[in-house]
A and B are shown apart, each in its own frame.
Chain A
Amino acid sequence: MALKTPEEFVRSIADLKLEIYLFGEKVDDYVNHPLIRPSINCIAMTYELARKPEYEELMLATSHLTGAKVNRFTHIHQSVDDLVKKVKMQRLLGQKTGSCFQRCVGMDAINALYSVTYECDQAKGTDYHEKFKKYVQYLQENDLVADGAMTDPKGDRGLPPHQQPDPDVYVRIVERRDDGIVVRGAKAHQTGACNSHEIIVMPTVAMREGDEDYAVSFSVPANAPGVFYIYGRQSCDTRKVEENVLDVGNAQYGGQEALMVFDDVFVPWDRVYMAGEIEFSGALVERFAGFHRQSYGGCKSGVGDVLIGAAALAADMNGVAKASHIKDKLIEMNHLNETLYACGVACSAEGSRMPAGNYQIDMLLANVCKQNVTRFPYEIARLAEDLAGGIMVTMPSAQDLFGEKTGPWVEKLMVGQCDTPTVDRMRIMRLIENMTIGAGAVGYRTESLHGAGSPQAQRIMIARQSNMEHKKRLAKDIAGVGQAVEPLEDKVLKPTAVKK
């Protein structure tokens, strides 16, 4: 069993010597950079929990390729049980980090590619599936993190990829050689890209005729020549470089997004999983999106658990926990949060076996799951802010709490319920701030809205799968539409007199 320790993971990322730019400068010691380290800690948690017996039931799975126990983030789902455990694992990670923990994108990418490469080979005689299986085995045996890179910058959304004024807004093949392909372009919003050993690229939309060079899927090491990263800003990010990180709220963990550029990157053929097969590009997009929409039922309910706990603590510390409206707001938060989880479990429980042998979630319910995720964290966040009170956004800084003149005043005036030290009340308020409008809100709110596809994308999928003709037939049957008018007695039991 080749499970890395968290320390080995961090060292392995540092050893890649990735080309990362932040605030206009190349960052050399990125694993120790205060803006970047919290996101690395999140993925390190996926390694830490996998080595603990009390979590291995969720964190580990038996590889169908090797029979070895592997981190579930590198596993190809082999059963409904695997799909459900995936969601539970993600809830656990959300609880332990209070943040987007980033490793799920690669897991969703390998599960989508597993079935699509198989079906492409069957239909078109290509040789992608065996190559891909070897790649998955490589990820498993070395316990690696893969970033699933789907979203291109896209430019003018009204034009197809091959008609874009600047072709670099989509990743595409620019050269085909005997030994491989050369690609150019970029992927945006890449969660966890700078914490990954490998990058798996997929097309971002179903490609049509003329877009063959854009129907490309491949893997490269994260430090492949020509790949570089421009780190994304987050709300309140520079609080992480302040002397006292109390004002960050969640100082240990955080999310990460990057703009990833492919500047004429060579990919050998054994790492290419799609190269022009436009007929299968749509299936790859749909299946990756489906798995990723399932993921949100787990991760966001886990992060929601932390926010609800913080809101309840804020109520305790404010001395208002017994008020009935406070209790009711916490009930509502839990109701919404468990609904997200319920949707994640439901789409897993209704999963089915693909021709390739792996298990796929139920698409309709996965899209329902994500559609709820685009809304409920916003309401949960609103209720958390309600319970915290306005002090959450007007509090003095940590420096003022510890300042010579200001400290005693902040200490005595920011106190809530007297048994709680002021510093702890401020910590909880900052955590709520972090998760609702700070750096953590990037993962909990806006990513909930746009991650795995914006709300309209799910509505399109829900519309496609809602089986409206069947529902109309049900209604017609009940209402008697199109049937001859018959005496009521023929259709309904005569009411009998009530016995006294």
Chain B
Amino acid sequence: MKILYCGGCNPHIEREALAAELEADERLRDSDVAVYISGCRRSCRTGHRLVLDTPGTLVVAGEHLDGTPVPATELAERIRRRLVLKKGVR
């Protein structure tokens, strides 16, 4: 699993804390996924796209996961479910 950040100028979520939570989960370590974490809906890390067509990617943009609104407190769990259950990861 690879984590890629935006520059952090307008963080609506705790980007580093979310990354740390994902990286601490051993079940996710071998996932062949790139998780793009932008701090707000501008989604700068992915060229202002809330979802990518590239296989093996997940886009967090503020309180959104692949374009779907998700409260900040639920982001890590939703990502875990996608990666562990391999659902919803293109």
Contact = CB atoms under 8 A, between A and B. Distances in A.
A91 interface: yes
A443 to B, nearest CB: 19
Contacts of B8: 54-55, 57-58, 92
B77 to A, nearest CB: 21
A95 interface: yes
Nearest to B15: A54
A240 interface: no
Interface string B1-36: 000011111100001100100000000000000000
B6 to A, nearest CB: 5
Interface in A45-103: 53-59, 85, 88-89, 91-92, 95
A95 B5 contact: no
B79 to A, nearest CB: 17
A104 to B, nearest CB: 15
Contacts of A95: 9
B76 interface: no
Contacts of A88: 7, 9, 44
B45 interface: yes
A89 B5 contact: no
B45 A57 contact: yes
B9 A58 contact: yes
Contacts of B9: 58, 88-89, 91-92, 95, 302
Contacts of B45: 57
Interface of B: 5-10, 15-16, 19, 44-45
Interface string A418-452: 00000000000000000000000000000000000
A235 B10 CA distance: 30
Contacts of B10: 91
A54 B19 CA distance: 10
Given A54-B19, A56-B5, A57-B7, 7 more contacts: A55-B7, A57-B6, A57-B45, A88-B7, A88-B9, A89-B9, A91-B9
B44 A54 contact: no
Nearest to B5: A54
B42 to A, nearest CB: 9
A89 B6 CA distance: 11
Nearest to A89: B7
A59 B5 contact: no
Contacts of A58: 6-9
A53 B7 contact: no
Contacts of B7: 55-59, 85, 88-89, 92
A302 B7 CA distance: 14
25 contacts: A53-B5, A54-B8, A54-B16, A54-B19, A55-B5, A55-B8, A56-B5, A56-B7, A57-B6, A57-B44, A57-B45, A58-B7, A58-B8, A58-B9, A59-B7, A85-B7, A88-B7, A88-B9, A89-B7, A89-B9, A91-B9, A91-B10, A92-B7, A92-B9, A302-B9
A57 B39 CA distance: 12
Contacts of A91: 9-10
A345 to B, nearest CB: 10
A59 B5 CA distance: 12
Contacts of B16: 54
Nearest to A94: B9
Most buried by A among B9, B10, B19, B45: B9
Contacts of A53: 5
A407 B5 CA distance: 47
Contacts of A55: 5, 7-8
Nearest to B39: A54
Contacts of A92: 7-9
Contacts of B5: 53-57
User: Could you say which of A54, A55, A59, A95 has the most chain B C-beta atoms within 10 Å of its C-beta?
Assistant: A54
A315 B8 CA distance: 27
Nearest to B3: A53
B87 to A, nearest CB: 28
A428 to B, nearest CB: 21
A55 B7 CA distance: 4
Nearest to B42: A88
A1 B45 CA distance: 22
B62 to A, nearest CB: 15
B28 to A, nearest CB: 18
A91 B42 CA distance: 15
A357 B10 CA distance: 30
A302 B9 CA distance: 8
